Structure 1
Amino acid sequence: MSEGLPRKLRYVFVLQAVMASFVIVIGFYFVGMFVKDALIGGRVQDEADRYWAVIERHPEFPLPRNPNVNGYFVPSEAEPNGEGVPPEYLPLEPGLHDLPGRVKLLIDERPQGRLYVSMSFPLVDRVVFWAGLVAIAMALLAIAAVSWLTYRSARRLVAPVDWLAQEVSSWDPREPDTDAIDARHMPGHPGREVQQLGNALRDLAERTRQFVQREREFTRDASHELRTPLTVIRVATDMMRADPDTPEKLRKPLQRMQRAGQDMEAVIDAFLILAREAEATAPLDEFDACEVAWESAEKARRLLDGKPVELDVVCDASPRLLALPRVLSVMLDNLLSNACNFTEEGRIEVRVQADRLVVTDTGIGMSAETLQRVYDPFYRADQFGAGGKGMGLSIVHRLGERFGWPVALQSAPGEGTTATIDLTKHLA
Structure 2
Amino acid sequence: MASIPGHRGTTAAARFRRTLRTRLILAFGLLGLLLITSFIFTTYWFSTLLDADTRGFLQSSVNRSADAFYRNPRSPFAELSNLRAYRYPPNQPDQLFNPDWAMYSNGVYHVSSIDENGHEFNYRLAVRKDPQQWFFIAMDQTQAIKTQRRVTVILFAMGLTALLVTLLVGWWLANTVMRPVTELAADLKKSSRSPDAKFKTDRIPNDEVGQLAQALDDYSERLREVVQRDQEFNADVSHELRTPLAVIRGATELLLTTPNLDDRTRTRIKRIQRSEQQCTDLISSMLLLSRNERGTGNVDVAKLCEQLIDAHREQVGRKPVVLRFEGEPGLVVNAPESSVSVALGNLIGNAVKYTQEGEVLVRLEGDIVRVIDNGPGLSVDDMSKLFQRGYRGTHVGHSQGGGIGLSIVRRLCALYGWEVSVLPHNPRGVEASLYFDPHKTRPTPTGA
8 Å CA contact retained: 1:292, 1:325: no
Contact 2:128 2:135 in 1 (8 A): yes
- 1:314–1:351 contact (8 Å) kept in structure 2: yes
Separation in 2 of the partners of 1:234 and 1:425? 39
Matches within 5 A, 1:27-42: 27-28=42-43, 30-31=44-45, 34-35=48-49, 37-38=51-52, 40-42=54-56
Distance between the aligned counterparts of 1:374 and 1:81, measured in 2?
A: 100
Using the aligned pairs only, state the percent identity: 24
Any unmatched runs of 5+ in structure 2? 1-17, 114-121, 442-448
Write the distance in 2 (CA, Å) between the matches of 1:352 and 1:304.
Answer: 22
1:409/1:419 contact within 8 Å kept: yes
Is 2:282–2:338's contact at 8 Å kept on the other side of the alignment?
Answer: no
Structure 1: gaps (5+ residues): none
The 3-state SS of whatever aligns with 1:214 is: helix
Taking structure 2 as the reference length, the TM-score comes to 0.71
Q: Secondary structure at the match of 1:171?
A: helix
Deviates more, 1:255-264 or 1:164-173: 255-264
Taking a change above 3 Å as real, the CA distance of residues 214 and 405 of structure 1, as seen in their structure-2 partners, is same
- 2:157 is matched with 137
Describe the SS at the equivalent of 1:351.
strand
The 1:205–1:95 alpha-carbon spacing in structure 2 relative to 1, beyond 3 Å, is same
Number of the residue aligned with 1:362: 374
- Equivalences for 1:296-307 in 2 at 5 Å? 296-305=305-314
**Could you give the per-residue CA deviations for residues 86-126 of structure 1, whole angstroms, max 9, x where no partner exists?**
59846x5x444678999866443669645355778565443
Q: For 1:290-345, what per-residue CA distance to the aligned partner results, in whole angstroms no more than 9, with x for missing partners? A: x2243134223320245532332435x96776666654443223222322333342
Equivalence map 1:100-139=2 (5 Å): 106-108=126-128, 113-115=133-135, 123-139=143-159
Distance 1:99 1:402 in 2: 85
Tell me whether 1:215 sits opposite 2:252 in the alignment.
Answer: no
CA distance 1:357–1:129, change in 2 (3 Å) = farther
- Residues 1:393 and 2:409 aligned together: no
Aligned residue-pair number: 404
Q: Measure how far apart 1:393 and its partner are.
A: 0.6
> What TM-score does the superposition give when structure 1 sets the normalisation length?
0.73
CA contact (8 A) 1:9 1:155 kept: no
Could you tell me which residue of structure 1 aligns to residue 303 of structure 2?
294
- Give 1:394 shift: 0.8
How far apart in 2 are the matches of 1:375 and 1:329?
Answer: 18
User: C-alpha root-mean-square deviation of aligned residues, in Å?
Assistant: 4.5
Counterpart contact for 2:305–2:362, Cα < 8 Å: no
Which residue is equivalent to 1:423? 437
How far apart, CA to CA, are the structure 1 residues paired with 2:85 and 2:420?
Answer: 92
Paired residue for 2:352, among 323, 340, 354? Answer: 340
**Cα deviation digits, residues 172-208 of structure 1 (max 9, x gap):** 4561311xx2333x16xx0244333323222221221
Matches within 5 A, 1:46-61: 48-49=62-63, 51-52=65-66, 55=69, 59=74, 61=76
- In 2: Cα distance, 1:242 partner to 1:299 partner: 25
CA pair 236-321 structure 1, distance change in 2 beyond 3 A: closer
Deviation at 1:395, TM superposition (A): 0.6
Asked whether the 8 Å contact 2:302–2:330 carries over to 1, the reply is no
**Greater relative contact order: 1 or 2 (C-alpha under 8 angstroms, separation 6 or more)?**
2
Name the counterpart of 1:349: 362
Q: Which residue of 1 aligns with 2:327?
A: 314
